[in-house]
Chains A and B, each alone.
Chain A
Amino acid sequence: MALSTGARTNGSSATVAQRLQKELMDIMMKPTPGITAFPDDENMTRWTATIDGPSSTPYENLVFKLSMEFGATYPYAPPTVLFKTPIYHPNVDFSGRICLDILKDKWSAVYNIGTVLLSLQSLLGEPNNSSPLNGQAAELWDKDMAEFKRLVLARHKTPEELDAAGL
Chain B
Amino acid sequence: MDHATLVFASVFPVPSLSHTTPTPIATPNLGYTEPGASFGSPYAADAGGTQRRTVLRNLAWSTATRFLSLPKDLDKAPRRIKRPPDVEEALDYLLVGEGTGREHEEGIADWYANEVRLHFANHVRQGLAEAWDKDIELSNAWHVLEDTQRVLDQMQNLYRQPFYAHILPFVEQAAANITIRAGRSTDNLEAETVGAAKRKFEREIHAVFAHSLPVERFSKTLSYVLYDAACKLFRLQVRLDDVAHAVPEHIDTKKVRRRMMVLLVGLNRVGLGQDEAQRALANAMDKLLDAYIASHYLKVDWYSKQSVTAQLRVWIENGFVPLAELVLECLKCDPASIPTLQRKQWQEMALTRLGRARVENLFDFVTNWDQSLGAILDLKEYLRLDGGKEHLKGSFSRQVSRRLLHPGATTTYILNVYIYIIRAFNKLEPKGVILQSVARPIRRYLKEREDTARTIISSLLIDLNDEASVKAASTGELSFEIASEMAKPFTHAEDADDEASWNDLSWQPPPYDASPEYKKSKVEDVIFFLLTLWDRDDFINELKNILGDHLLKCQDPEFQKEIRLLELIKIRLGEDNLQACEVMLRDVLESRRINETIRQAGDRPQNQPPQTPETLGPRTPRPRRAAPSTPPAKPLPGPALNAQILSSFFWPILRDETFRVPAEIESLQQDYESRFERIKGMRKLRWMNALGDSRITLEFDDRTEEFDHLTPWQVSVVYAFQPQPGEEKTGKGKGKAKSEGITRNAEQLEEILEMDETLLHQALAFWVGKSVLREVSPHTYAVIERLDSSTKDSDAAAAAQEIAEVQAAQSTTVKSQADLLNERKDVYMSFITGMLTNQGNMPVVRVLMMMRMMVQGGFPFGAEEVRALLGEMEAAGKVVRLGGDVWGIGK
Contact = CB atoms under 8 A, between A and B. Distances in A.
Contacts of A44: 854
A39 B855 CA distance: 11
B787 interface: no
A25 interface: yes
Interface in A83-107: none
Interface string B511-550: 0000000000000000000000011001101100100000
Interface stretch (A30-38, A118-126, A133-141): A30-38
A31 B484 CA distance: 52
B838 A38 contact: yes
Contact of A3 (B538, B830, B857): B538
A1 interface: yes
Interface of B: 447-448, 450-451, 453-454, 534-535, 538-539, 541-542, 545, 827, 830-831, 833-835, 837-840, 853-858, 860
12 contacts: A1-B454, A2-B448, A4-B538, A5-B447, A21-B856, A22-B856, A25-B827, A28-B827, A31-B834, A36-B838, A38-B854, A42-B854
A25 B454 CA distance: 28
A3 B447 contact: yes
Given A3-B542, A36-B838, A50-B838, 5 more contacts: A5-B534, A24-B856, A37-B838, A38-B834, A47-B838
B834 A28 contact: yes
Contacts of A110: none
A28 B826 CA distance: 8
A45 to B, nearest CB: 13
Contacts of B538: 3-5
Please classify the interface of chain B as helix (H, G, I), strand (E, B), loop, or mixed, using the class held by over half of its residues.
Answer: helix
Nearest to B537: A3
Contacts of B453: 1, 3
Residue picked from A4, A21, A28, A49, most chain B C-beta under 10 Å: A28
B388 to A, nearest CB: 36
Contacts of A38: 831, 834-835, 837-839, 854
A159 B839 CA distance: 11
Contacts of B535: 3, 5
Residue picked from B450, B535, B538, B834, most chain A C-beta under 10 Å: B834
A152 interface: no
Contacts, number: 72
A2 B833 contact: no
B850 to A, nearest CB: 8
A4 B853 contact: no
A142 interface: no
A27 B826 CA distance: 12
Interface residues of A, number: 27
A2 B450 contact: yes
A43 B319 CA distance: 71
B539 A29 contact: no
Contacts of A21: 854, 856
Contacts of B448: 2
A42 B831 CA distance: 14
A36 B858 CA distance: 21
B854 A48 contact: no
Contacts of B857: 4
Nearest to B449: A2
Given A2-B450, A36-B833, A48 B856 contact: no
A27 B451 contact: no
A163 interface: yes
Given A2-B450, A40-B839, A65-B838, A25 B855 contact: yes
Nearest to A43: B853
Contacts of A22: 856
Contacts of A5: 447, 534-535, 538
A65 B860 CA distance: 31
The 7 closest A-B pairs by CB, nearest first: A3-B538, A48-B838, A38-B838, A38-B834, A25-B856, A36-B834, A42-B853
Contacts of B542: 1, 3
Nearest to B546: A1
Given A25-B855, A27-B834, A36-B833, A48 B839 contact: yes
A19 B750 CA distance: 42
